[in-house]
């Protein structure tokens, strides 16, 4: 759900991508230390990615989709039980381009054996490949190509490609020879070495090539790569987005923490958003939405606590989570709203969220404006001493706070709905900006880390139940974006919630295993087992969430 009237920039239609195909040829290193991938250097005169090192491949042509071409692959595609016409076309294009650029061909002879290198060498690389294969009774080895990933170029590029990345084992005995026009210098290189050379600025790589090499570097050998692809589904699909970091353009994949924010701010992919964390000024996310991050970075707060301003000059603003009692931050929040803050709402009472409410309220009053009520839920008796909080107005679950005004484009409304989400804190609320389908998640959902559930005010059973409720709410109200109190905006809201719940349940399984391994152990003993994948310096903090998991396990066992 997006109100186009609230987008920061006029939208530009991206260029339609051209379809292409790429093949990564792999071979194990002779010394047994990992594997290598075949790359070539593009021409310095190339109109696209000049001088960059790439995998062989190129554009899909009409000949790749013909019935005659598919006939050369049908039997082998059927053996893999994936005779999808588009996939066959893509695979054929990848095989053809690999042959034309490097003289490497994956094919079977009339007897069903891999074609001998000497026979491949007799082919004319400048003549139609399919006709030559048909004349010899050969079948093209589409069954040897495994679907690794799919990349679609950044939306802002003037020349874009949509490309499946296939991997295959290098056929024995064949030697790559570049065509000398588009491709040069065939090079076998370990993925890790290619990444290191890129970082040392001695190897030019495109973003998709770099990220693919980084992913491949996790595998021990060629067999391990191919084993990961047996499900016939790509390991990832990506259309990167670009934002500014340290004043330079930097691309991000969907799995990167900043991707959702770039998608929210610039749906069409324009490169205009700065991702650097700073506390000096408000960051526009939509016309009706500003974020100001408090100068309180740390282990528990990440880059700092995000305060949000919802509204505009015609309607006034709602301040969400004014943060700590930090005068400079509150002054900036006041100024960003032009002093016109109508309501102050707190997601919960923790000291990095609610203490700034009363001082911000006083700033507004001192400016001669109406006193904005502080709204939220009072802290429960289980709250710690530094988390005591009593709002002017107690919000009920589902209650709405509305702003309305007459702007240049007519009447505008901004409506926040309160959603009771106990778990991180007993008095935790999330808020939904209904007109735009945005979820303000407080500390219930963070970007880049999982929130601490600290009993007795925190409760893991409530926390997971609240996650389920938020998932249902996102489905019902078509919510795509989550704006957390710490970190960048999250996109694909329901997927983010599902990942978070899966992580929590996986951790709980480790806690249960630790309890069974050391039934007489202490909390510290169980943390050492259940959080073995976490730096030991964080174990004291992890103890709190582990205790919450133990309480949930005990509650469920007693309930059963």
CB 307 within 8 A of CB 321: yes
- Secondary structure letter of residue 114 according to DSSP: B
CB 302 within 8 A of CB 486: yes
Angle at 248 between CA 160 and CA 208, to 5 degrees: 35
Nearest partner of 148 among 57, 50, 78, judged by Cα = 57
* Dihedral angle of Cα 186, 189, 192, 198, to the nearest 10 degrees: -40
Q: How far is Cα 432 from Cα 418, in angstroms, rounded to an integer?
A: 7
Q: Does domain 285-498 have CATH number 3.40.640.10?
A: no
- Each residue's pLDDT tens digit, 20-61: 999 999 999 999 899 999 999 987 776 666 789 999 999 999
Peptide bond into 538 cis (omega under 30): no
- Secondary structure letter of residue 536 according to DSSP: G
Q: How far is Cα 74 from Cα 142, in angstroms, rounded to an integer?
A: 9
- Each residue's pLDDT tens digit, 402-422: 999 987 777 899 999 999 999
In the numeric block, which tokens belong to residue 458?
A: 């925190």
Nearest partner of 511 among 484, 544, 487, judged by Cα = 544
With a CB cutoff of 8 Å and minimum separation 6, the contacts of 363 are 330, 331, 334, 339
- Each residue's pLDDT tens digit, 354-388: 999 999 999 999 999 999 999 999 999 999 988 99
CATH dotted code for 18-239: 3.90.79.10
How high is the pLDDT of residue 3? 87
Least confident of 175-179, 250-254, 359-363, 434-438: 175-179
How high is the pLDDT of residue 71? 86
- Of the two residues 230 and 429, the one the predictor is more confident about is 429
Nearest partner of 493 among 478, 505, 515, judged by Cα = 478
- How many residues appear in the chain? 560
Mean model confidence pLDDT for the chain = 94
Q: Where are the domains of the chain?
A: 18-239, 285-498, 505-559
């Amino acid at each position: 759900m997006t109100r186009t009237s609230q987008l920061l920039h006029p939208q530009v239609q991206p260029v339609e991508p051209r379809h292409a195909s790429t093949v990564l040829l792999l071979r194990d290193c002779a010394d047994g230390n990992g594997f290598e991938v075949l790359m070539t250097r593009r021409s310095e005169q190339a109109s696209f990615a000049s001088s960059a090192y790439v995998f062989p491949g190129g554009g899909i042509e009409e000949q790749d989709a013909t019935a005659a071409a598919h006939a050369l692959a049908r039997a082998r595609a059927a053996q893999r039980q994936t005779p999808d016409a588009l996939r066959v076309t893509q695979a054929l294009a990848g095989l053809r381009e690999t042959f034309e650029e490097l003289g490497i061909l994956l094919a079977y002879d009339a007897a069903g054996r891999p074609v001998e290198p000497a026979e491949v060498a007799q082919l004319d690389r400048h003549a139609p490949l399919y006709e030559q294969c048909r004349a010899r009774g050969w079948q093209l080895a589409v069954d040897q190509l495994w679907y690794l990933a799919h990349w679609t170029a950044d939306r802002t590029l003037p020349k874009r490609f949509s490309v499946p990345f296939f991997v295959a084992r290098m056929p024995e005995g064949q030697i790559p020879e570049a065509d000398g026009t588009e491709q040069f210098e065939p090079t076998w290189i370990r993925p890790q070495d290619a990444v290191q050379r890129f970082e040392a600025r001695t190897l030019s790589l495109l973003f998709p090539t770099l990220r693919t090499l980084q992913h491949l570097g996790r595998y021990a050998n060629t067999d391990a790569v191919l084993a990961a692809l047996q499900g016939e589904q790509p390991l990832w699909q990506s259309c990167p987005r670009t934002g500014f970091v340290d004043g330079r353009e930097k691309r991000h994949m969907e799995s990167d923490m900043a991707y959702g924010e770039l998608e929210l701010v610039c749906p069409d992919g324009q490169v205009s958003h700065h991702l650097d964390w700073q506390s000096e000024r408000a960051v526009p996310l939509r016309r009706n939405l500003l974020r100001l991050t408090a100068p309180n970075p740390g282990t528990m707060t990440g880059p700092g606590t995000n305060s949000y301003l919802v509204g505009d000059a015609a309607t006034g603003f709602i301040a969400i989570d004014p943060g700590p009692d930090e005068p400079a931050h509150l002054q900036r929040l006041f100024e960003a709203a032009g002093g016109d803050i109508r309501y102050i709402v707190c997601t919960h009472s923790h000291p990095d969220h609610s203490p700034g409410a009363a001082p911000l309220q006083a700033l507004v009053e001192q400016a001669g404006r109406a006193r904005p009520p502080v709204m939220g839920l009072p802290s429960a008796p289980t709250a710690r001493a530094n988390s005591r909080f009593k709002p002017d107005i107690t919000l009920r679950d589902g209650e709405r706070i509305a702003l309305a005004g007459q702007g240049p484009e007519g009447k505008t409304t901004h409506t926040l709905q309160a959603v009771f989400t106990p778990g991180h804190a007993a008095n935790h609320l999330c808020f939904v900006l209904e007109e735009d389908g945005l979820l303000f998640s407080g500390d219930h959902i963070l970007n880049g880390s999982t929130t601490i559930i600290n009993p007795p005010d925190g409760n893991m059973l409530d926390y997971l139940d609240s996650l389920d409720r938020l998932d249902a709410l996102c489905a019902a109200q078509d919510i795509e974006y989550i704006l957390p109190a710490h970190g960048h905006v999250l996109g694909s809201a329901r997927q983010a919630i599902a990942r978070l719940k899966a992580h929590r349940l996986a951790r709980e399984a480790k806690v249960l295993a630790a309890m069974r391994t050391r039934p007489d152990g202490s909390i510290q003993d169980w943390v050492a087992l259940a959080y073995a994948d976490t730096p030991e310096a964080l174990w004291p903090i992890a103890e709190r969430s582990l205790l919450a998991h133990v309480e949930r396990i005990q509650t469920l066992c007693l309930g059963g």
